[in-house]
Amino acid sequence: MPKTYTFPRDLLDAQAALDETRSQYDAYARTLPWSAEPMAGWEAEKQPYTSFRSGKADSPGYTPEQAAEVARFQARLLELSVTVSTHPFWDTLDDGVVQARMALKHAHDKPADAEAQA
């Protein structure tokens, strides 16, 4: 039976904000050019025994607005990561910090039966 923890509300909120910010950043990053700086594309040699040929189109690089948004996301992710990892709650545990940290990461997960009813 996994141990349960009573996490402080501010720690739960910080973890939820970290998860949400990471999700938003990942979605935003998928819309960006493949290179932050302008870079020529390339095409590799055809792979043996297949017709697959890897390559990338030219990348225009990030616009100043895109670079600023990436920097904003990265700063927020760092801030939230520090908040979660240095929270005083961790000092209250004698052992099992890793297990508690993993439990916190999943504290907002919906139980499987709740998802089936939704």
Residue 12: pLDDT over 60:
yes
Report the distance separating Cα 36 and Cα 38, nearest Å. 7
Per-residue pLDDT tens digits for 32-91: 999 999 999 988 888 788 888 888 899 999 999 999 999 999 999 999 999 999 999 999
pLDDT of residue 52: 82
For the chain, give every domain's residue range: 9-34+63-109
Q: Which two tokens stand for residue 33?
A: 């050019």
The whole-number pLDDT of residue 118 equals 47
Q: State yes or no: pLDDT of 92 exceeds 60.
A: yes
The pLDDT of 5-20, averaged and rounded, is 97
* Long-range contacts from 72-78, C-beta under 8 angstroms, 24+ separation: 73/21, 73/24, 73/25, 73/28, 74/25, 76/21, 77/18, 77/21, 77/22, 77/25
CA-wise closest residue to 104 among 79, 91, 85, 82: 85
